[in-house]
């Protein structure tokens, strides 16, 4: 592999890259290659894409065809709404529940907490059939709320916020109480600001998860007005199957672009958020 020479600095400031560097880079290149080939295919004609000639002419035709073939703006709007609704629901419910578990004493609390943790294992994904019945019963079939509501009481979120609230010093709470804050004032003025890194981490994870979620939205949506991007993309792939890899690649890139650039821009915060949230 010519990697060693390609990435060695020209002057003898550093020694040659170590075996570690080569291995790490080799794996990194293998890991990004599917994405790189999708970019390659998306910007070339089918013939150009499959010839693998570096000087093949570039084209935006694939993006134009892909964009015209499905109601993408509506899908983008649906996914944005979905992610927002879920996040608002999760932050509200998990904050209240996490606060109750962290700072209130009442009989049955620990038993209930075990029940909540059990939801980490009884996943909405596994209960698709009965949850579908439940959503239909509640009249939420084919609505954004219907896609989002089973995820709102997130056990993971409750657990994370309980941990964060527990690490807040009691003196802060007492000080706020002396100032005349009720339980809500204490929560809002003391606990929520103190748990900001946890909120950030949880929000990033939640948005990424639900932007990408597929199986449950596939089941509870039935129209363009609710279908999120992932479901739209899968339908798109189905109708175009075997036709043009360039168009599919272009559509795929459009779908992943917002989250991808978000990640590149906030990469440091994202990874830091994970580290700070104390997820172990």
Chain positions 62 to 91 lying near other proteins, rule: CB under 8 A, are none
Distance, in Å, from the CA atom of 211 to the CA atom of 172, rounded to the nearest integer, reads 37
Using CB under 8 A, which of the segments 54-62, 66-74, 93-101, 191-199 binds other proteins?
93-101
Closest contact distance (angstroms) between CB of 256 and other proteins is 5
C-beta of residue 182 within 8 angstroms of C-beta of residue 108:
no
Cα 94 to Cα 35, 81, 186, distances in angstroms? 35, 20, 16
Note whether 271 binds other proteins by CB under 8 A.
Answer: yes
Within 152-171, which residues bind other proteins (CB under 8 A)? 152-153, 155, 158
* Inter-axis angle of helices 155-166 and 196-212, nearest 10: 170
In the block, tokens 């290659």 appear at 33
Q: What is the spatial distance between Cα 63 and Cα 257, in angstroms, rounded to a whole number?
A: 13
Query: Footprint of other proteins on residues 235-254 (CB under 8 A)?
Result: 237, 245, 248-249, 251-252
Q: Sign of torsion, CA 46 47 50 54?
A: negative
One character per residue 185-224, x = contact with other proteins (rule: CB under 8 A): -----------------------x--xxxxx--xx-----
CA 12 to each of CA 5, 16, 18, 24, 71: distance values in angstroms, whole numbers, following the listed order: 13, 9, 14, 22, 55
One of 58, 60, 88, 123 touching other proteins (CB under 8 A): 123
Number of residues near other proteins (by CB under 8 A): 94
Identify which of residues 194 and 256 has a Cβ nearer to other proteins in the complex: 256
Mask for 11-50, x = binds other proteins (CB under 8 A): ---x--xx-xx-xxx-xxx-xxxxx-xx--x--------x
Residue 149 found at the interface with other proteins (CB under 8 A)? yes
Task: Residue 158: name the closest of 188, 186, 195 by CA.
Answer: 195
Query: Looking at beta carbons only, is 38 or 164 nearer to other proteins?
Result: 38
Interatomic CA distance for residues 189 and 183, integer angstroms: 10
Beta-bridge partner residues of 58: 44
Task: Give yes or no for residue 140 binding other proteins (CB under 8 A).
Answer: no
Pick 109 or 196: Cβ nearer other proteins:
109
Among residues 67, 124, 172, 189, which is the contact residue for other proteins, using CB under 8 A?
124
For residue 57, the number of C-alpha atoms closer than 13 Å in the C-beta half-sphere is 6
Neighbours of 51 (CB within 10 A): 12
Binding of other proteins by 96 (CB under 8 A): yes
Choose between 104 and 180: whose C-beta lies nearer to other proteins.
Answer: 104
């Amino acid at each position: 592999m010519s990697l060693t020479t390609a990435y060695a600095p020209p002057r003898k400031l550093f020694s040659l890259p170590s075996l570690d560097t080569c291995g790490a880079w080799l794996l990194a290149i293998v890991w990004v290659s599917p994405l790189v080939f999708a970019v390659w295919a998306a910007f070339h004609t089918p013939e150009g894409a499959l010839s693998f000639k570096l000087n093949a002419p570039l084209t935006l035709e694939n993006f134009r065809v892909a964009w015209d073939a499905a109601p993408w703006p509506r899908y983008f709007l649906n996914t944005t709404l979905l992610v927002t609704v879920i996040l608002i629901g999760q932050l509200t419910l998990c904050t209240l529940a996490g606060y109750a578990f962290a700072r209130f004493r009442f009989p049955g609390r620990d038993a209930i907490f075990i029940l909540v943790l059990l939801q980490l294992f009884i996943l909405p994904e596994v209960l698709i059939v009965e949850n579908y019945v439940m959503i239909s019963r509640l009249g939420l079939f084919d609505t954004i709320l219907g896609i989002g509501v089973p995820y709102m009481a997130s056990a993971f979120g409750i657990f994370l916020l309980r941990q964060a609230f527990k690490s807040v010093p009691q003196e802060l709470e007492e000080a706020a109480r002396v100032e005349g804050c009720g339980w809500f004032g204490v929560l809002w003025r003391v606990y929520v600001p103190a748990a900001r890194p946890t909120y950030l981490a949880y929000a990033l994870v939640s948005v990424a998860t639900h932007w990408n979620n597929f199986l449950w939205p596939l089941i509870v949506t039935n129209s363009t007005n609710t279908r999120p991007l992932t479901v739209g993309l899968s339908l798109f792939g189905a109708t175009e199957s075997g036709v043009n890899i360039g168009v599919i690649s272009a559509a795929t890139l459009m779908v992943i672009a917002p989250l991808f650039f978000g990640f590149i821009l906030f990469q440091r915060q994202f990874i830091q958020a994970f580290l700070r949230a104390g997820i172990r």
